[in-house]
Amino acid sequence: MKSLKGPTSDNCLSARSRGKSSGFTLLEVVISMTIISMLVLVLYQAFSMGVRIWEDRHGRQDETLRLEAATSLLRADLTRAVPYNIFWEEGEALLFAGGPGAMFYVTSNGTGSISGAGEGLYFACLYVDVCPEKQEKCLYLSKSSRPSPDFVQEATAFRSATDFSRESFSPDSHMERKSILMLEGIIEAGFFYTGEQYFPFAGVPDHGLERSVQENEISFDRHWVENVLPGQVRISLLLEGQEYIIHVPVSRVSF
């Protein structure tokens, strides 16, 4: 009869060796997962950075386009400004008044600012006010094809107000509802006026925007309540840390 023998030590070692080579240890799994997590994190950060760069670049392009559109509209409005006189309790006055953050004017330019605009006069108020639910300022334009009593009252009150009151101007609810948003994300803004005629920048403009003007001997005022139109208006805007200075000529031709 054949004798039964138990497993030898060599057989046990070979079995244990096969068991070890058939899977991963816990340490190997942890190391693999750590490496994969690091790779995923690096790829995610690279992707996020690319998205932020793309959004920032397109955001600056959109901001420049909006600024160019606002500049074009203001230039068209003020180069066709009209010396429109009004009669009220205290006498006759020109319906043009300017302060550091608001400006009332009359223009013959209506195309592109209100629907169906044609020939005629348009009564406008350009002003800076706090954006709803935002910690920033916005540039608004209220424009109408007829001088409503509310508009005339607001304009005459603004014109006859003190400098301090003009600095803290805020439109009434009627004008606010009719206003269109022109620019947002404004950190600081200021309107300035002078009787001097407009002198365009002689150099190459940046993105179509004039950043300078021959103004070494020109003084600008923060308020304009004269009975003549100013020669030019300077609008200073601080957007995302970048300052833009827009010089707009004002027409003195009668309508």
Count up the domains in the chain and report the number.
1
Residue 189 lies in a domain: yes
pLDDT-based confidence at residue 248 (cuts at 50, 70, 90)? confident
Q: What is the pLDDT of residues 117-158, one digit of tens each?
A: 445 889 999 999 988 877 788 999 999 888 888 888 888 889
H helices present in 170-252, as ranges: 173-178
**52 vs 59: CA distance, rounded Å:** 10
Q: What is the pLDDT of residues 45-77, one digit of tens each?
A: 777 776 666 555 555 566 778 888 888 888 889
- Calculate the dihedral angle through the C-alpha atoms of 103, 107, 113, 118, rounding to the nearest 10 degrees: 160
Residue 3 lies in a domain: no
Residue 6 lies in a domain: no
Residue 42 lies in a domain: no
Q: Domain range holding 241?
A: 55-249
Residue 50 lies in a domain: no
SS3 192: strand
Residue 34 lies in a domain: no
SS3 84: coil
Residue 40 lies in a domain: no
Instruction: Evaluate whether 171 touches 125 at the Cβ level (below 8 Å).
Output: yes
Q: Is the pTM of this model over 0.95?
A: no
Residue 184 lies in a domain: yes
